[in-house]
């Protein structure tokens, strides 16, 4: 199966949609998209995983890398929409907690609240 990453910028947030499999062969494409966005001033990234069928440890590392880059620039990376095996991997690995994903209500607006740095306000409605 292939992989694609598309994104749209709206309301100060870059919203990325991943489809296919995020793994050793596709992670560089995801990393390039993240680098391009952060390099042009988009530090808040919301990644939609609803159409992602598979994510291995390299893919998880790419998500962490994106969050680290966003955080270093004063923003963040959050995930939404994971289902099936991808949601299971996020839950078992604990990565869902790190990236602000609860898997229950999956409210993207709630995901905009920062996970890093208590007391810091880096986005959202509050």
Query: For the chain, what is the mean pLDDT?
Result: 86
For residue 82, count other CB atoms closer than 10 A to its CB. 25
Q: Which pLDDT score is estimated for 124?
A: 42
Nearest to 58 by CA among 22, 97, 96, 94: 22
Q: Is the pTM of this model over 0.75?
A: yes
Q: With a cut of 80, say whether residue 104 has pLDDT above it.
A: no
The per-residue pLDDT for range 49-100, each reduced to its tens digit, is 999 999 999 999 999 999 999 999 999 999 999 999 999 999 999 999 999 8
User: Pick from 90, 91, 96, 93: which is nearest to 111 by CA?
Assistant: 96
CATH class of 3-111: alpha beta
């Amino acid at each position: 199966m292939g992989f694609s990453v598309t994104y749209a910028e709206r309301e100060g947030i870059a919203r990325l949609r991943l489809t296919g499999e995020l793994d050793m062969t596709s992670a560089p494409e995801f990393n390039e998209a993240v680098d391009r966005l952060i390099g042009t001033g988009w530090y808040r990234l919301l990644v939609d995983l609803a159409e992602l069928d598979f994510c291995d440890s390299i893919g998880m590392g790419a998500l962490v890398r994106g969050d680290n880059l966003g955080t270093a620039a004063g923003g963040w990376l959050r995930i939404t929409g994971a289902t099936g095996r991808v949601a299971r991997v996020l839950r078992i690995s604990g990565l869902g907690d790190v990236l602000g994903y609860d898997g229950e209500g999956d409210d993207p607006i709630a995901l905009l609240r920062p996970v890093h740095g208590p007391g810091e306000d880096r986005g959202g409605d509050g």
